[in-house]
Amino acid sequence: MKVFVVFSLVLVFALAEDKKEDSAAAPASPVAEERQKIFRRLIPADVLRDFPGMCFASTRCATVEPGKTWDLTPFCGRSTCVLSEDKPPRLLELVEDCGPLPLANPKCKLDEERTNKTAPFPGCCPNFVCEDGVKLEYPEIPTVAPLPAEVNESTTSSAAAKA
């Protein structure tokens, strides 16, 4: 049995070394990978009359306390229930998702091998491959109001850490 384990380990290492040599010998690709941008927007939260202090997460058919986050499966995104600092306070939903698709560009294509639509957000956002030197362009989205400072700081740092 020990001989089999040792033989298996030697075989695994040999295959790993072989793959390293293949990737080192391959010429650099003339394309650059681009990730879909992440969009954040604050919208009025859905609230059920029987649960006035909680956000209603329609994708989960559940109520969520302020400060808690939920995923938007089957869509690619997540939301956070936010209590505004207004007088009286209002419940808001901070929605984070992949936003609109980039503008059509014949020099960029969806990278179907690296796009995992079932991964948790933001891993489910589409990945694109563009020819060298080409950048994706996105449509302009009008904004109504900037995010409150405390919401923007907490979500930007957590999103940046995961990206």
Q: How many residues does the chain have?
A: 163
- What confidence tens digit (pLDDT) does each residue in 2-22 have? 333 333 333 333 333 333 333
Do residues 79 and 66 lie in contact, with contact meaning Cβ atoms separated by under 8 Å?
A: no
Average pLDDT score over the chain: 75
Task: Express each pLDDT in 65-111 by its tens digit.
Answer: 999 999 999 999 999 999 999 999 999 999 999 988 899 999 999 99
What 8-state DSSP symbol labels residue 76? Answer: S
* Dist CA 18 CA 143 (whole Å): 52
Tokens of 60: 């989960």
Q: Where are the domains of the chain?
A: 29-150
Q: Kindly report, residue by residue over 117-148, the tens digit of the pLDDT.
A: 999 999 999 999 999 999 888 888 766 555 55
Q: Which residues pair with 42 in a beta bridge?
A: 94
Q: What is the pLDDT of residue 138?
A: 86
pTM of the predicted model as reported, rounded to 2 decimal places: 0.63
Q: By the 8 A CB rule, do 45 and 56 touch?
A: yes
